[in-house]
Amino acid sequence: MKPLLLAHFVVFVCAGLSAQTNVWQPSPGHTQVPIWPGAVPDAQPVAGPEYERATTKLFAGRPVVFVDKVSLPTMTVYSPTETNTGVAVAVFPGGGYNELAIDLEGTEICDWLTSRGITAVLLKYRVPLKKVGPYSESPLALEDAQRTLGLVRFHAAEWHIDPHKIGVIGFSAGGHLVTATSTHFDQRSYPAVDAADRESCRPDFAIACYPGHLWNDDEGFKLNPNVPVTANTPPTFLLQAEDDHVDGVEQSLVYYIGLKNAGVPVEMHLYAQGGHGFGLRPAKFPITEWPHLVETWLRTIGMIQN
């Protein structure tokens, strides 16, 4: 994180986190900073302080760390240590809009991206879900995501990022947040607070992994109207397992059809096995190789060159 940004925000980190215990912190060398310079817009009461917890059930030999009750959204920038492609990706962990799988679908994703020369920006967005306002699925998370994309574009030169190569990746509920940012960018969902909000919050590309909240089986095979796909929706990569019993395959299929009908470039990879919430951790199924497919796709759409 650059000194200019730290000077602007570090006071808010201290004020917001000093009174809390057991709050998630990134690995040494990385600093999480609040994305809002003052009061958080549309702040909703959360019962109790933010905290992290690890599951007792192991996934690929390790527990999963969740962050609960986030009322102060932050971002953490992970910069490439060697080659820098100029590409940046905002990372949205999943957790049903009730909590965040901060390592499985957050820091581990950032480590993979930076190893490929891509700047990763981990967003710790507000949870649990608050259904308020005209956008009823995740209005507070959408505000946080829009704000983060504007900040990344505003600091592009400082962070050695191409402002035309800024994308998003998300998992489960975070995958839905990917589709929300991909279809809600013409206008901010909150009043502008500074120059960063004058930057575009449209992703240049989008990667949605086993997304949810896109289809309701009570409504037939119809895309959730809260993600109004248009021809200006960014190129999209979709990943799904057929045996996903949390967010069924229909979630990705209905979004794929919506993108195709709108003429949006879309690539979908559908695997027979893999379940839900696998992230990057190794599994015995072919779906575990999905990061290589993303890297190839980023080359085909002209984001990375080698």
Question: For the chain, which residues score pLDDT lower than 50?
Answer: 1-19
Give the Cα separation of 237 and 286 in Å (integer). Answer: 17
Give the Cα separation of 303 and 242 in Å (integer). Answer: 29
Give the number of C-alpha atoms closer than 13 A to the C-alpha of residue 80, restricted to the C-beta side: 18
Q: What is the pLDDT of residue 136?
A: 67
204 falls within a domain:
yes
Give the Cα separation of 167 and 126 in Å (integer). Answer: 20
Query: Beta strands of 15-149 (E only): which ranges?
Result: 32-34, 51-54, 65-68, 74-78, 88-92, 99-101, 119-124
Query: Scanning the structure block, which residue is given the tokens 């891509």?
Result: 118
Percent of the chain at pLDDT exceeding 70? 91
Q: What is the pLDDT of residue 76?
A: 98
- As a dihedral over the C-alpha atoms of residue 184, residue 146, residue 292, residue 66, rounded to 10 degrees, the angle is -120
Using CA atoms, how far residue 163 sits from 43, 155, 199, 295, in Å, is 29, 9, 10, 19
182 falls within a domain:
yes
Contact 236, 266 (CB under 8 A): yes
Structural domain span for residue 263: 3-300
Cis omega (within 30 of 0) on the bond before 3? Answer: no
**Measuring CA to CA, which residue among 24, 27, 30 is closest to residue 2?**
30
Hey, is 149 helix, strand or coil? helix
164 falls within a domain:
yes
305 falls within a domain:
no
Percent of the chain at pLDDT exceeding 90? 80
Which two tokens mark 253? 């299929």
Using CA atoms, how far residue 33 sits from 39, 97, 260, in Å, is 14, 21, 38
306 falls within a domain:
no
Query: Beta strands of 160-214 (E only): which ranges?
Result: 166-171, 205-209
Q: What is the pLDDT of residue 217?
A: 77
CATH code: domain of residue 263: 3.40.50.1820
295 falls within a domain:
yes
Task: Give the number of domains in the chain.
Answer: 1
Hey, is 51 helix, strand or coil? strand
Q: Classify 153 in phi/psi space as left (phi over 0), alpha (psi -120 to 50) or beta.
A: alpha
Which two tokens mark 232? 């200006």
Task: Give the global pTM.
Answer: 0.92
**Cβ partners under 8 Å of residue 66, min gap 6:** 52, 53, 54, 55, 95, 99, 100, 101, 102
Q: What is the pLDDT of residue 26?
A: 95
**Measuring CA to CA, which residue among 165, 146, 153, 172 is closest to residue 42?**
146
